[in-house]
Amino acid sequence: MTVLGIATSAEEALERCGDAPDLVFVDVDLGHGAEPTGVWLAARFVETCPEAKVVVLAAHGSARGIRDAIASGVHGYLTKDTSARLFLRSVMAILGGDVVIPQRLAASSLGARTAEEESARLLEDQLTPREREVLGLLVEGASSEQIAVRLTVSPNTVRTHIQNVLTKLQVRSRLEAAAFAVRWGLVSVGPEHQPVVHTP
């Protein structure tokens, strides 16, 4: 293998797409509080370097981190404590067309739920389709008046829906409801609607 380059910023990294790499490694942690994130950068590589295999590297793997990475279209997610021998085998498998993730995290990342996740889903299942719409608008940061206009209902109806959402999700405020939805992926958040809250 030949190293085509090592980038120190997202911009510099994306410029290297012109070198037509076969394999791209992206550190999930680009620095404390760095924007964009490593997963965002990996997704951009998937889009701009379609011929390259993109692999996310993480200090400590998490089921949620793997789900986010795989959803972005990357070809592998490896932790930095992987042995050299296993690391090389994983890279060769990725180059051969496989998607590789840590075995110890495979079950939870591919659908098996923790007790906390199961509890969140049970709460979510209580929401009606309209309440899910309202929750999605809360995540977007919409006010009660804006929700009323978007859904063509009265402000009183919106207040009722919001109260039902808070009760069913067992939270105390609109902000907590939005945080809950973002944390557990209860609503789809498009690139044009960044979450109004950030969760660890």
The CATH number that domain 116-184 falls under is: 1.10.10.10
Write the pLDDT tens digit of every residue in 63-95: 677 777 777 888 888 888 888 898 898 899 888
Task: Tell me which CATH homologous superfamily contains domain 10-109.
Answer: Response regulator (3.40.50.2300)
Write the pLDDT tens digit of every residue in 111-146: 555 667 778 878 888 999 999 999 999 988 899 999
Q: Is 10-109's fold the same as 116-184's?
A: no
> Domain-by-domain residue ranges, the chain?
10-109, 116-184
Distances from the Cα of 153 to the Cα of 77, 141, 156, angstroms:
45, 18, 8
The confidence score (pLDDT) of residue 29 equals: 77
Q: What is the mean pLDDT of the chain?
A: 80
Contact 116, 124 (CB under 8 A): no
In which residue are the tokens 């089921």 written?
63
Q: At 106, is the pLDDT very low, low, confident or very high (cuts 50, 70, 90)? A: low
| Three-state secondary structure readout of the chain | CCCCCCCCCHHHHHHHHHHCCCEEEEECCCCCCCCCCHHHHHHHHHHHCCCCEEEEEECCCCHHHHHHHHHCCCCEEEECCCCHHHHHHHHHHHHCCCCECCHHHHHHHCCCCCHHHHHHHHHHCCCCHHHHHHHHHHHHCCCHHHHHHHHCCCHHHHHHHHHHHHHHHCCCCHHHHHHHHHHHCCCCCCCCCCCCCCCC
Task: For residue 115, give both structure tokens.
Answer: 């007790």
The confidence score (pLDDT) of residue 65 equals: 73
- Write down the pTM of the prediction: 0.51
The confidence score (pLDDT) of residue 199 equals: 31
